[in-house]
Structure 1
Amino acid sequence: MLKRIILLLIWTNSLSAQQLPYHPDEEEMTGRYKHARLLDSISRNTVFKSTVRANWSVDGRSFWYANTLKDSVKEYILVDAASGKKRPAFDHAKLAAALEQDPLRLNITRMDIGTKTAMLEAKGKYWEVDLKTYQLIKKDSFPQRVYPDRVFRRSRWQSFSTRGESPDKKWHAFVKEGNVFIRNNETKDTIQYTTNGTKEKPYAELAWSPDSKYVVGYLTNPALDTLVYYVLTSVSGTKRGQLRSQNYKQPGDPFTTYEMHLFPVDQLKSIRVNTEILDFFEAPVLHWRKDDPRYFSYEKVDRGHQRFRIIEVDAQSGTTRTLLDEKAKTFIYESRIFTEYIPATSEIIWSSEKDGWRHLYLVDGLTGNIKNAITQGEWVVRNIDSVDEKKREIWFRASGMHAGEDPYFIHYYRIGFDGKNLVQMTPEKGQHLITLSNDKKYYLDTYSQVNIPPVTELRLTSNGKKIAEIERADATEFFKTGIPPVESFVAKGRDGVTDIWGIICRPSTFDPTKKYPIIENIYAGPHDAFVPKTFMGTFGEMQSMAELGFIVVQIDGMGTANRSKAFHDVCWKNIADAGFPDRILWMKALGTKYPYADTSRVGLYGTSAGGQNALAALLFHPEFYKAAVSSCGCHDNRVDKQWWNEQWMGYPVGKHYDEQSNITNVDKLQGKLLLIVGEADTNVPPESTYRVADALIKCNKGFEFLPIPGMGHSDGGPYGRLRKRNFFVRHLLGVETPLVIK
């Protein structure tokens, strides 16, 4: 394989303009379809030892895992955590004989291994095994394991309320006929606190203070979401189309509003809190001070995503003050705001991109002042795994800290609240995933790159020291199929400075003396980045397309997430941009380095936001893109879901929504277009695509249209993917192929 790559590089450097565009005949094209099907078949289950799923012992001193090898042979391995030494978890032959199973293909679902016995589940039955004699004792169930350290975080905006009963059990708060009542559980006396609530505009979401002195509630003005409809045309056993509907909030639609009130049990009155009516999301989680439960704070994101606040309320008077107030000229990425409240020290850990990169800060919870930056630098905190209040330590993931690496590679770290004692837990180059032992004393680190199979190492949590390499994935059989390794490729973006990263898939029958059309797999949704970073040891959709005679690429352009704030800001009120200037420059750089990549024949395909992007390429960049397959596209950001589109396109809905709509711009269409839509799409309303078709017809534009009965949000399924292949073969390679290749 290495020799082949070296030859490719030599050939590429020696080739020039004499290369001819690749145009296969029908017979050769038919052979390519058959070869792609063959590779799909023979490449399955050809990568071994790529995943170590550790099953830790109760005492945390060891763990076992299973490998599935060639021909479905299974092995079970036991690892001593302190030394990293491995051995068979048991005598496979003896246990297989006892279980009456094939010793090469033992099927064990669960297992707890001790020094003398093991509990296991096999084929739905439970057994205790004597590891010396291999005698079996049948059991009724498998022992339950308790994991006390596991913490499940609730959404910041999940509707919050408590039970009606107060923490001290003396009171019960409830809403009756839209109004708030509090009953004394001892005397049974009930006090009505409000009279202005109605069935249409009731009080709701009552929540007690921890000292049982106050109830917080809201006078609400409910907003009913309007319906979107779709018709199932081909339901078995029916003669008519079946109408379906669902609640669906679109940009500009109203939210239920919440007017905050306090109900002190010792004052027998309602106090309207001196704060703005909440008109975005639902009732917030309340954070009461531990040292003085007279005060609580809550979080507020303004509609339009340009302001985030933490507001403190004095429950005795209803007065408020703003502890933290962040404003942005573009957007604040609401779903990636992280806050952790530390009641014992009245502190808040808060994430922000205020310095141009997503970082963590320690905030004084009493004053709102930033005590110190916890993380800083030109890199991005990607996720927070845990916060240890006693050790004052944060475990987090980040990317971009390692110079010379792909800036999207995720690494794991931990750091003190004071921003000191940063510990690097995953030093090796690559995309990482760690799993901790139950007591967090050890962890397994699995890392890989798109062209390098995974390696799993056992490390010590206290200092990150490597104990042993547990497994190194074996992809020998995969590469024997002839599928070339995926290549990571980087080129400069529109500013001439920023690196744009992507990947390249080539056909296994690749001939560097020919020029192959380029097809881009596009998804430019601003909510994340999408180019794979882990080992691509499967025959996926991109490689399947490449086998037909294409160079298939995927790119993360500006406007996507996980880089700097400036990189991400390109999408603000500008989703139609989709990073196209960066993508086009990237492919031109690809064509310069590899002349066999034909930048005069470029197509693209995508689904959902990618479907929107695919059509937009032909509308706004027809000088470069020549053919597109657009599946289930959200072609007009006013038709699609509210929460996603207002985050990037802003609120209120303005003329920029109309200016960037694919529907509005269909008169600009050049090139070849195939639209695919599932009639039962509950993610993006099907009319988004139908309105494109209607507008194209009214403009007398030629296009292909494939509606699929009964299908939901999809790229078209097997039939749609076949139509996509044939479409690109016809329009980029110039070959008419049968719909089905036998």
Structure 2
Amino acid sequence: MIKSWKAIGLGLLCAVGLSLASQAQALKKVTAEDVFKLGTFSPKTVSGINWMKDGQYYSSQLVRNGAPVVVKMNLATGEEAGVLLDGRALGVDFSSYSFNADESKALIATDVESIYRRSSKGIFYVVDLATGQKQQLMNGEKISYATLSPDNHKVAFVQSNNLFLVDLASNQQTQITTDGEWNKIINGSADWVYEEEFSMAQAFKWSPDGKKIAFIRFDESEVPEFNMQLWGALYPKDYKFKYPKAGEKNSLVSIHVYDLASGKTQKIDAGSETDIYLPRIYWTRDANTLAFLRLNRLQNKLDLFHADASTGASKLILSETSKTYVDLDYNDDLQYLSDGKTFIRTSEQDGYKHIYHHNLDGSLIRQITSGDWEVTAMVGLDEKAKKLYFLSTEASPLERNFYVIGLDGKGKKALTPAKGTHTINMSPDSKFYIDYHSTADTPVKVTLNEASGKEVKVLEDNQALKEKLKGYALAKKEFFSFPTVDGTALNGYLVKPADFDPNKKYPVLMYVYGGPGSQNVLNAWGGLRDFWHQQLAAEGFVVACIDNRGTGGRGRDFKHSTYANLGKLEVIDQIEGAKHFAKMPFVDPSRIGIWGWSYGGYMSSLSLMIGHDVFKTAIAVAPVTTWRYYDTVYTERYLQTPQLNAAGYDDNSPITHVNKLKGNFLLIHGTGDDNVHFQNSVDLVNALITADKQFDSFYYPNKAHSISGGNATWHIYTQMTNYLKEKL
């Protein structure tokens, strides 16, 4: 009886497969042109939103008739209520804007050029919203991080590693620091490693009353210099910048407060230890009390201090330690309440990231949220109603939903029951929020909502894209989990060809990133790589992805399991995933490949070398090949220093395992990669040559870590597609 039902089930499966195949054949296949040139699958969104002070409006930046405009939107109706800034009328093609506290002035930027991942410089103007008059800062010279003062009278900014301010009424300029110098001293903006790993570029903040400016000073004189050659001239140019590789010297950092009235600068006491990180400064509700975070070099101790801005004296408020590391990203929601007596913050000290309420002296009032799930973002606080709004993984690690809870930890309620991933932009008064919601099958829908969850208006539903998608043979992401060797369940997804035939044997391409705290397996609308995977599915590949141990969304222990030994468990999990796929009846076990970028390139390289019996082909783009070449902050957080943990750096370096290489290996890197240096690939190539291993490689002259700009994106994905069609 059981056998006959199985036979019937197989017959039905085949019939369904044939029916789907015939339907798919009538639809368009996803092409490279769709993905990379036409932007066929790129959703529209609503961007450049600023909530306005009266709680009745928000502003949004749009493009009209080829020029930028900022419009005022009515929260109650969702309708446009006027134009606040008009690029055509101003004669400025601005790319960003911000308002001062009373919304009488706007700061706009144009001709902005990127420096590194988060840093930039541009030409800034202050616009009087009542008269429409504009005032150019620094006579049109490029500056960074121009910020209006809370009292509306001044603008602070950074130029040439020094901090400046301009009085708007007199146009008088004051240079706050004078010792700034390229590759030596930086005032008010971050050095390379802080920008990359602590997600900060601007390193100064106005006091709440506009009378002081706190800033971080970086002395990078002793940080070793990295040299990149820039190609294109008769003689290539050297580009030298300070980059602290694991175990090397970091910048000496200090915090200072400039008093506008006296013109004096006060250094803040951050302790006698100098080999530390000072990654965050905050003003409390008291305009003379500055808060800051201090991390030790190994990042297993995080301290919160309060300092007297006038005297520089500081006091330790609370301290958190770990046997592994204290993740700044999980302790970066510090917010001081208007009562002037308490603050809230997040921490994963109980095993999951949750929200805590403290008295100003650091004593705990209560843990507000708890459970075997993570708060992924704190997005709103209604102090009058004593309600806190946050995103979390409570429904599933594969999703992000929006919740409200009382400051007393009671009355938790889901405001976004729809499955998928929600990103929330909430008004400062917590009366409204904008919800960006998508699933793996549905492009982003943007809605304006009341705090209760009631929808006010759909701002963008991407209906045109949804209609367009109906004409394409798109494959669905099939989510699953499976147990790895030690019984840990891992999450993954499969993307099968739209004309999938269960009787055929398909090659499988696994996509991996796998780094600490990352997450690829998520029920959300995909980006460029996801639609390249759709193109590959249209070419007859099954594309798969597994989030190995060490990735995010599943708590501290799961994330920290790879501590001090990056690469070991992650590669085991990817190999086990490949073996799991190899057992599937529609998979050709002799044609399983893996690809990744950055940490994913590290993973794909190692997986092919160590797992050469299960993987046939690997592509590694911009890979770390030895953690000795990567920066201090990221690498030492997870591996300690090379001096303390040499084996953790070397045992799972692809360079160590070159002798095990079999199969097809394509190594790609940009020569202008300031993040994961081209040096990584050069040394791996040398090791492969020494081991007498044949492989393929390609470099992109002057291209940074993203290998983008010009024709590079089209070229690299075309190259990888052709390689996979030939080798897999």
Verify same fold: TM over 0.5: yes
Partner of 2:175: none
Q: Which residue is 1:534 aligned to?
A: 524
Superposed CA offset, 1:151-186 (max 9, x none)? x9xxxxxxxxxxxxxx9xxxxxxxxxxxxxxxxxxx
Q: Which residue of the other structure, out of 474, 490, 502, is the alignment partner of 2:492?
A: 502
Shift of 1:456: 5.0
Deviation at 1:666, TM superposition (A): 1.8
Q: Is the 8 A contact 1:601 1:626 kept in 2?
A: yes
Preserved CA contact (<8 Å) 1:47 1:476: no
1:637, 1:645 within 8 Å by CA — same for their partners in 2? yes
Deviations 1:255-293 (A, max 9, x none): 244689999xxxxxx9996943242234863767849x7
CA deviations 1:519-552 (Å, max 9, x no partner) are: 1121122242133532349872112222332111
**What is the aligned partner in structure 2 of residue 430 from structure 1?**
420
Q: 1: distance between equivalents of 2:726 and 2:217?
A: 61
Partners of 1:273 and 1:48 in 2: CA distance? 49
Letter of the 2:391 partner, please give it: R
Equivalents in 1 of 2:364, 2:614: separation in Å?
48
Partner-residue secondary structure (3-state), 2:654: coil
Q: Would the aligned equivalents of 2:475 and 2:534 in 1 still touch at CA under 8 Å?
A: no
Paired letter, 2:524: T
Within the candidate set 248, 251, 258, 1:253 is matched to: 248
2:345 maps to 350
SS of the aligned residue for 2:469 comes to: helix
2:454 corresponds in structure 1 to: 465
Structure 1 residue 331: Cα displacement: 1.4
Partner of 2:475: 484
Cα distance between partner residues in 1 of 2:220 and 2:98: 44
In the alignment, is residue 447 of structure 1 matched against residue 437 of structure 2? yes
- 1:646 aligned residue (636, 643, 657): 636
**Structure 1, residues 643-701: CA drift from partner, whole Å, max 9, x if none?**
22222222354212122222233223232211112222222111110000001111111
- 1:669 is matched with 661
Alpha-carbon distance in structure 1 between the residues aligned to 2:324 and 2:534: 38
Q: How does 1:114-193 map to 2 (within 5 A)?
A: 124=88, 148=101
Which residue type is aligned with residue 419 of structure 1? G
- The unaligned stretches of length 5 or more in structure 1 are 1-6, 16-30, 69-77, 85-110, 127-140, 153-166, 168-199, 264-269, 733-742
Is the counterpart of residue 617 in structure 1 residue 615 in structure 2?
A: no
AA in 2 matched with 1:346: K
- Cα distance in 1 for partners of 2:309, 2:432 equals 45
Aligned 8 A contact 2:268 2:307 in 1:
no
Deviations 1:612-634 (A, max 9, x none): 11111122222222211111111
Cα distance, 1:220 vs structure 2:
9.3
Structure 1 residue 227 corresponds to structure 2 residue 221: no
Q: Which residue does 1:407 correspond to in 2?
A: 397
**Counterpart contact for 1:112–1:120, Cα < 8 Å:** no
Conservation of the 8 A alpha-carbon contact between 1:524 and 1:578: no
Give 1:315 shift.
9.6
Amino acid at match of 1:678: G
When structure 1 is superposed on structure 2, of 322-331 and 369-378 the one drifting more is 322-331
Aligned-partner SS, 1:563? coil
Asked if 1:370 is matched to 2:364, the reply is yes
Change (3 A) 1:283 1:37: closer
**2:325 is the counterpart of 1:331:** yes
Once the two structures are TM-superposed, the CA of residue 507 in structure 1 deviates from its matched residue by 2.7
Larger Rg: 1
Q: Is the 8 A contact 2:335 2:345 kept in 1?
A: yes
396 and 262 in structure 1: CA distance in 2 versus 1, 3 angstrom threshold: closer
Does residue 713 in structure 1 map to residue 679 in structure 2?
no
| C-alpha spacing 1:473/1:486, structure 2 compared with 1 (3 Å) | farther
The equivalences for 1:572-611 within 5 A come to 572-577=563-568, 579-592=570-583, 594-611=584-601
Q: What is the TM-score with the length of structure 2 in the denominator?
A: 0.68
Q: Is the 8 A contact 1:385 1:395 kept in 2?
A: yes
C-alpha displacement at 1:606, in angstroms? Answer: 1.4
Q: Determine the structure 2 residue equivalent to 1:197.
A: none
1:560 is aligned to 2:554: no
Aligned equivalents of 1:61, 1:202: Cα separation in 2: 45
CA distance in 2, matches of 1:42, 1:607: 18
Amino acid in the other structure paired with 2:548: G
Structure 2 counterpart SS, 1:329: coil
Following superposition, the deviation at residue 455 of structure 1 comes to: 4.7
Determine helix, strand or coil for the equivalent of 1:228.
strand
Within-5 A mapping of 1:8-19: none
Please state if 1:722 is matched with 2:680.
no
Q: For 2:604 and 2:251, how far apart are their aligned partners in 1?
A: 35
Going from structure 1 to structure 2, the CA distance change for 1:208 and 1:601 (only over 3 Å counts) comes to closer
Pick closer, same or farther for the CA change 1:420–1:730 going to 2, 3 Å: same
1:53–1:546: structure 2 CA closer, same or farther, 3 Å change rule?
A: same
Partner of 2:536: 545
Q: Which residue pairs with 1:279 in the alignment?
A: 275
Aligned partners of 1:642, 1:450: CA distance in 2, in Å? 36
Corresponding position of 1:130: none
Aligned to 1:239: 234
* Kept in 2: contact 1:49–1:473 (CA 8 A): no
Alignment pair present for 1:696 and 2:688: yes
Task: Give the Cα separation in 2 of the matches to 1:318 and 1:81.
Answer: 43
Which range moves more in the overlay, 351-360 or 465-474?
465-474
In 2, distance between residues paired with 1:537 and 1:272?
A: 44
Which amino acid letter does the alignment assign opposite residue 537 of structure 2? A
Which amino acid counterpart does residue 230 of structure 1 have in structure 2?
M
Retained in 2: the 8 A contact 1:446–1:457? yes
> Structure 2: how far apart are the matches of 1:54 and 1:256?
34
The one-letter code matched in structure 1 to 2:657 is N
Task: Return closer, same or farther for 1:12/1:554 CA change in 2, 3 Å cut-off.
Answer: farther
> Are the counterparts in 1 of residues 30 and 472 from structure 2 also a CA contact under 8 Å?
no
Q: Retained in 2: the 8 A contact 1:300–1:308? A: yes
Provide closer, same or farther for how the CA distance between residues 341 and 608 of structure 1 changes in structure 2, counting only shifts above 3 A. Answer: same
Could you tell me how far 1:724 is from its partner in structure 2? 2.0
Cα distance, 1:61 vs structure 2: 7.3
| Cα deviation, residue 46, structure 1 | 6.1
Report the alpha carbon displacement of residue 557 of structure 1 after superposing the two structures with TM. Answer: 1.6
Letter in 2 for 1:554: C
What CA RMSD, in Å, does the superposition of the two structures yield over aligned residues?
5.3
SS at structure 2 position matched to 1:684 = coil
Q: CA deviation at 1:215?
A: 13
Secondary structure class of the residue paired with 1:638: helix
Deviations 1:5-63 (A, max 9, x none): xx999569679xxxxxxxxxxxxxxx9xx966477379957679964679999997799
**Equivalent pair of 1:663/1:692 in contact (CA under 8 Å):** yes
User: Structure 2 CA distance, aligned partners of 1:677 and 1:590?
Assistant: 29
Q: How does 1:85-96 map to 2 (within 5 A)?
A: none
Q: Deviations over 1:452-483 (max 9, x none)?
A: 4455555321x223467774746243132222
